[in-house]
């Protein structure tokens, strides 16, 4: 007699129960192994003939267990313990291909992790070393000086050897190949959590200024101690490679590890200032600058005309048809808006990271900056662009090929100085843009911003170097003060006297001789100031 068939629902239920039991058994097995501090669950991967193991570790573990690449036994003789760098000389240059650690980055990176809620570090690449690797007489080396085993000890948990446990016991040493500054930042964070303070350093690890404190971060960014403590248990991705693999000699292993190190660092091309300004989503000034660059009629891309903004470089070439750079726009945004939105910048000089402004404030900042560009667009110099004149014709000096107007408004340094001066006048002195630009339109029409390479120009010797016949970037702050003065923003007699002396210094052409605004040689004390508008 045939037994009755079980309903499909019962079979499905049994399958689900079996899967649930399997998951529970797997969870118990993993729990048994992962509670040990000497093992990490990893996935084995292969690329370019090299084995590696992917996993994750807590930030506290990362800071405590991983060392800088410069501490590899390979570099020990040339290692500088004060800076954690390798001393480069004729011998070590062939042994090390890494950039020196920049300790000035530690505090900003630690602060980023501490105050930015949605912080993220990419995975790091580390090399696993064992004591026997550096002992040529160890049993792990055969008579041909080849390794009998790998420095990484991997215990597989599946039949194909894809998932398993990696030995990271205390006798194993681990060094960061890619991610040394991330390690530096995490170590700074853990120090901040454990001690409540963090020393700032110069590039060479010499102390710089005061300490960064938890109390200071709490006051500035509302970060509490409990939140900071939890950060230590956050996890970062980590990829392990072996210092030596089976069959390698020590020299072959060294070349392989060094080659990997060089290649991962060569691929890490640093971003330009312009690219950083493009990508920065936390700096309010950068966000405002980007918005204006793509929306304002003076700057945005329009069909049938050359682009007005250089998005990558911080400079404008003589023949370039752009009007400005994104970096200059960001600097203009900072200089103009910093007095209206002081909290967008750090409140002190301790390198604290400013937080992203609220959306309402950003909208206000965009509208305020847009208003400035609306007025800028009304200046006769910029109106020439609508008449078909190219930017380089207005930018070039008279002595350059093609001869131009030498207009400071078409130089990034002049644009930044101009925006800075207007920021002072509007937000510190209380003047209105309407009143200011009524004067400036007349001043511009009469050539006040042009011919900066002629002695008659206020910008001669300030933004233009008559000796080198080129733009004088170092004169930006002086140009700012001069614009403020010309627009009636400096009334203090001492301040005016100091400004006159600075202008005279810029126009000095020899010992006790300077160029007057009339184009004659006079004594420096005889150089005056241009008339106030």
pLDDT the model gives residue 330: 94
Does the predicted TM-score (pTM) go above 0.85? no
Give the end of a domain, one of 243, 269, 295. Answer: 269
List C-alpha distances in Å: 221 to 92, 209, 346, 473, 493.
44, 21, 11, 35, 41
Q: What is the mean pLDDT of residues 11-33?
A: 73
Q: What is the DSSP string of 191-208?
A: HHHHHSEEEEE-TTS-EE
Q: What is the mean pLDDT of residues 210-220?
A: 85
| 443/32: higher pLDDT | 443
Residue 1 pLDDT greater than 60, yes or no: no
Domain match, 148 and 49 both: yes
Is 380 within a domain? no
Domain match, 119 and 94 both: yes
Neighbours of 165 (CB within 10 A): 21
Q: What is the mean pLDDT of residues 288-316?
A: 90
Domain match, 49 and 73 both: yes
Is 394 within a domain? no
pLDDT the model gives residue 105: 86
Domain match, 20 and 76 both: no
The predicted-structure confidence for 468-505, as pLDDT tens digits, reads as follows 899 999 999 999 999 999 999 998 999 999 999 999 99
Is 109 within a domain? yes
List C-alpha distances in Å: 335 to 282, 367, 407, 421, 426.
17, 16, 21, 8, 12
- What token pair was written down for 205? 């690890």
Domain match, 73 and 217 both: yes
Residue 232 pLDDT greater than 70, yes or no: yes
Domain match, 14 and 112 both: no
Q: Taking a C-beta distance cutoff of 8 angstroms, is the pair 178, 265 a contact?
A: yes
Is 429 within a domain? no
The predicted-structure confidence for 145-174, as pLDDT tens digits, reads as follows 999 999 999 988 888 888 889 999 999 999
The whole-angstrom separation of Cα 152 and Cα 245 is 8
If one counts the domains in the chain, the total is 2
The predicted-structure confidence for 266-281, as pLDDT tens digits, reads as follows 566 566 666 666 666 7
Q: What is the DSSP string of 129-190?
A: E-GGGG-TTSTTB-TTSBBSS-SS-EEE-STTS-EEEEE--TT-EEEEEE-HHHHHHHHHHH
Residue 351 pLDDT greater than 60, yes or no: no
Is 116 within a domain? yes
Average pLDDT, the chain: 86
Give the end of a domain, one of 247, 269, 291. Answer: 269
Is 473 within a domain? no
The predicted-structure confidence for 75-91, as pLDDT tens digits, reads as follows 454 445 565 554 444 34
Nearest to 478 by CA among 455, 494, 456, 501: 501
Residue 22 pLDDT greater than 90, yes or no: no
Residue 28 pLDDT greater than 80, yes or no: no
User: Phi and psi for 451 in degrees, rounded to 5?
Assistant: 50, 45
Containing structural domain, residue 49: 37-269
- What token pair was written down for 7? 């309903």
Domain match, 169 and 150 both: yes
Domain match, 71 and 31 both: no
| 73/301: higher pLDDT | 301
Residue 94 pLDDT greater than 50, yes or no: no
Give the end of a domain, one of 269, 291, 318. Answer: 269
Domain match, 102 and 11 both: no
Instruction: Provide the pairing of β-strand 79-80 with 197-201.
Output: unpaired
The whole-angstrom separation of Cα 290 and Cα 284 is 10
Is 425 within a domain? no
Percent of the chain with pLDDT over 70: 86
Contacts 24+ apart (CB under 8 A), 365-371: 365/284, 365/285, 365/287, 365/288, 365/333, 365/337, 365/340, 365/341, 366/288, 366/291, 366/292, 368/337, 368/340, 369/288, 369/289, 369/292, 369/333, 369/336, 369/337, 370/292, 370/295, 370/296, 371/433
| 77/254: higher pLDDT | 254
Domain match, 135 and 183 both: yes
pLDDT the model gives residue 270: 62
Q: Taking a C-beta distance cutoff of 8 angstroms, is the pair 241, 125 a contact?
A: yes
Domain match, 19 and 75 both: no
Is 481 within a domain? no
Domain match, 41 and 108 both: yes
- What token pair was written down for 43? 């996935």
Half-sphere exposure of 73 (CA within 13 A, CB side): 15
Instruction: Return the SS3 of 237.
Output: strand
């Amino acid at each position: 007699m045939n037994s009755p068939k079980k309903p499909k629902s019962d079979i499905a239920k049994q399958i689900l129960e079996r899967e649930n039991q399997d998951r529970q058994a797997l969870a118990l097995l993993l729990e048994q192994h992962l509670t040990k501090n000497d093992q990490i669950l990893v996935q084995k991967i292969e690329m370019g003939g090299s084995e590696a193991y992917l996993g994750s570790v807590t930030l506290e573990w990362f800071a405590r267990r991983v060392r800088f690449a410069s501490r590899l036994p390979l570099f020990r003789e040339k290692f500088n313990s004060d800076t954690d760098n390798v001393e480069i000389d004729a011998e070590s240059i062939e042994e090390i291909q890494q950039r020196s650690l920049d300790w000035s980055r530690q505090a900003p990176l630690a602060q980023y992790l501490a105050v930015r809620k949605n912080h993220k570090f990419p995975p790091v690449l580390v090399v696993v070393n064992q004591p026997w690797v550096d002992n040529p007489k160890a049993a792990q080396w055969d008579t041909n000086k080849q390794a009998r085993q790998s420095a990484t000890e991997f215990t597989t948990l599946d039949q194909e050897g894809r998932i398993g446990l990696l030995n990271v016991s205390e006798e194993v040493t681990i060094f960061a190949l890619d991610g040394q500054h991330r390690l530096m930042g995490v170590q700074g964070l853990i120090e901040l959590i454990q001690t409540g303070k963090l020393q700032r350093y110069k590039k060479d690890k010499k102390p710089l200024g005061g300490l960064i404190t938890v109390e200071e971060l709490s006051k500035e960014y509302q970060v509490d101690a409990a939140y900071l403590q939890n950060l230590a248990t956050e996890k970062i991705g980590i990829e392990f490679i072996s210092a030596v693999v089976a069959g390698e000699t020590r020299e072959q292993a060294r070349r392989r590890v060094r080659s990997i190190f060089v290649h991962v660092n060569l691929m890490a091309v640093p971003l330009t200032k312009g690219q950083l300004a493009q990508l920065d989503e936390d700096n309010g000034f950068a966000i405002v600058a980007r918005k204006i660059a793509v929306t304002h009629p003076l700057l945005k891309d329009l069909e049938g005309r050359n682009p007005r903004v250089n998005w990558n470089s911080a400079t404008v070439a003589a023949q370039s048809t752009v009007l400005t750079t994104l970096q200059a726009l960001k600097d203009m945004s900072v200089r103009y808006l910093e007095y209206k939105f002081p909290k967008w910048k750090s409140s002190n000089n301790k390198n604290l990271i400013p937080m992203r402004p609220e959306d309402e404030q950003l909208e206000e900042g965009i509208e305020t900056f847009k208003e400035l560009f609306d007025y800028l667009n009304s200046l006769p110099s910029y109106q020439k662009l609508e008449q078909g004149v190219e930017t380089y014709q207005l930018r070039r000096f008279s002595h350059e090929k093609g001869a131009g107007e030498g207009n400071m408004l078409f130089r990034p340094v002049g644009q930044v100085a101009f925006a800075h001066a207007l920021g002072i006048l509007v937000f510190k002195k209380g003047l209105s843009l309407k009143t200011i630009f009524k004067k400036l339109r007349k001043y511009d029409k009469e050539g006040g911003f042009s011919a900066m390479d002629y002695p008659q120009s206020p910008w001669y010797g300030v933004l233009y170097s008559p000796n080198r016949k080129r733009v004088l970037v170092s004169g930006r702050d002086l140009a700012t003060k001069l614009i403020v003065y010309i627009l009636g923003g400096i009334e203090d007699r001492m301040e005016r006297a100091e400004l006159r002396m600075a202008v005279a210094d810029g126009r000095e052409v020899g010992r006790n001789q300077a160029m007057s605004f009339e184009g004659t040689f006079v004594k420096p004390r005889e150089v005056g100031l241009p008339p106030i508008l």
